[in-house]
Amino acid sequence: MKMYEKAPAKINLMLDVLHKRADGFHEVEMIMTMVDLADRLELSELKRDSIIISSQAGYIPLDEKNLAFQAARLIKDRYNVRSGVHIHLDKRIPVAAGLAGGSSDAAATLRGLNRLWRLGIPVQELQELGAELGSDVPFCVTGGTALATGRGERLTPIANPPQMWVILAKPPINVSTAEVYGRVRAGNIAVHPSALRMQQALEAGDFSAVCEGLGNVLEDVTLKLHPEVQQLKEAMLKLGADGVLMSGSGPTVFGLVSKHSKVARIYNGLRGFCKEVYAVRSLS
């Protein structure tokens, strides 16, 4: 038997850090939404008790470091599943980009194995399992648009963004999420983006207000480490994006555009100096 799952990328429309917690994680307030750029997973049942990961992408781990492997092992152990699975990952989301590619693969694995092995695990329990794998995984289990608090695992669904285009550009640099959080000084953040304001903009379907409400306190850290991310933001704005922000801990920058007529100009302009550029729709 085979199951197929799509694993979409996320962007953070706003991300605020409130304080560092005793467990080393940071208390955050974020609004995340999915975009129409997705990995594809094919999950095939194996009679023997093993987990096999394969992918056309040569640049991701295929062993127990792969988040899809970890998700499969977790669900197998927790529910005493004897059979195995072969998971083929058709990677389309850029890796280590701030787009939660690995987290979304893990979430899609939890959803897919729940169906493949007919486990009947309720969504909330899948999210709790997801939280053991990473802070972004619970959101990726359900997707949509949500306010995420705690370390990112406490979710409140909110209205999807109005129809818009999202242009994503990933510069060829590596950013460590742990390092970026490690450099944040919550007490020194000058301007905190407002979750309430973004939530109201989304509920009202007000595209301009969504653009005005964009904010990510991790930007300051990543931009200092990698000035090319700032240059990419400026280029996107110059080319006509209505709103521009870095996603997660970076380095991907996204631009929001309401008019389709602007998309080709921005896409082509960025392709001149950035190899990984995507123009997609927000998922609603």
Ligand X SMILES: C[C@](O)(CO)[C@H](O)COP(=O)(O)OP(=O)(O)OC[C@H]1O[C@@H](n2ccc(N)nc2=O)[C@H](O)[C@@H]1O
Residue placing its CB nearer to ligand X in the complex, 7 or 116: 7
Integer Cα distance of 191 and 132 in angstroms: 31
**Looking at residue 160, what DSSP letter applies?**
P
Buried b / exposed e over 150-166, threshold 16 CB at 10 Å, is ebbbebeebbebbebbb
Hey, what are 116's tokens?
């493949």
10 is catalytic: yes
Are 1 and 108 in contact by the 8 Å Cβ rule? The answer is no
Establish whether 100 is an annotated binding residue: yes
Residue of the chain from 1, 46, 95, 123 that contacts ligand ATP (CB under 6 A): 95
252 binds ligand X (CB under 6 A): no
Residue of the chain from 101, 112, 130, 193 that contacts ligand ATP (CB under 6 A): 101
Q: Find the part of the chain contacting ligand ATP (CB under 6 A) among 102-110, 124-132, 195-203, 224-232.
A: 102-110
Binding mask 106-135 for ligand X (x = CB under 6 A): ----------------------------xx
Integer Cα distance of 190 and 174 in angstroms: 26
Are 192 and 16 in contact by the 8 Å Cβ rule? The answer is yes
Integer Cα distance of 109 and 52 in angstroms: 12
170 binds ligand X (CB under 6 A): no
182 binds ligand ATP (CB under 6 A): no
105 is catalytic: no
Establish whether 94 is an annotated binding residue: yes
Find out whether the peptide bond into 138 is cis, omega within 30 degrees of 0. no
Could you tell me the smallest distance in angstroms from the CB atom of residue 103 to ligand ATP?
4
Q: Is 127 exposed, middle or buried (0-12, 13-18, 19+ CB in 10 A)?
A: buried
Count of C-beta atoms within a 10 Å radius of residue 205:
13
Residue placing its CB nearer to ligand ATP in the complex, 65 or 271: 65
Q: Measured at the alpha carbon of residue 138, what is the angle toward residues 136 and 144, in degrees to the nearest 5?
A: 90
Which residues are documented as binding site for ATP? 94-104
Residues near ligand X, by CB under 6 A: 12, 15, 25-26, 28, 30, 100, 103, 134-136, 151-152, 177-178, 181, 248-249
Question: Which residues are tagged catalytic?
Answer: 10, 136
Interface residues with ligand ATP (CB under 6 A)? Answer: 60-61, 65-68, 89, 95-103, 105, 136, 177, 248-249
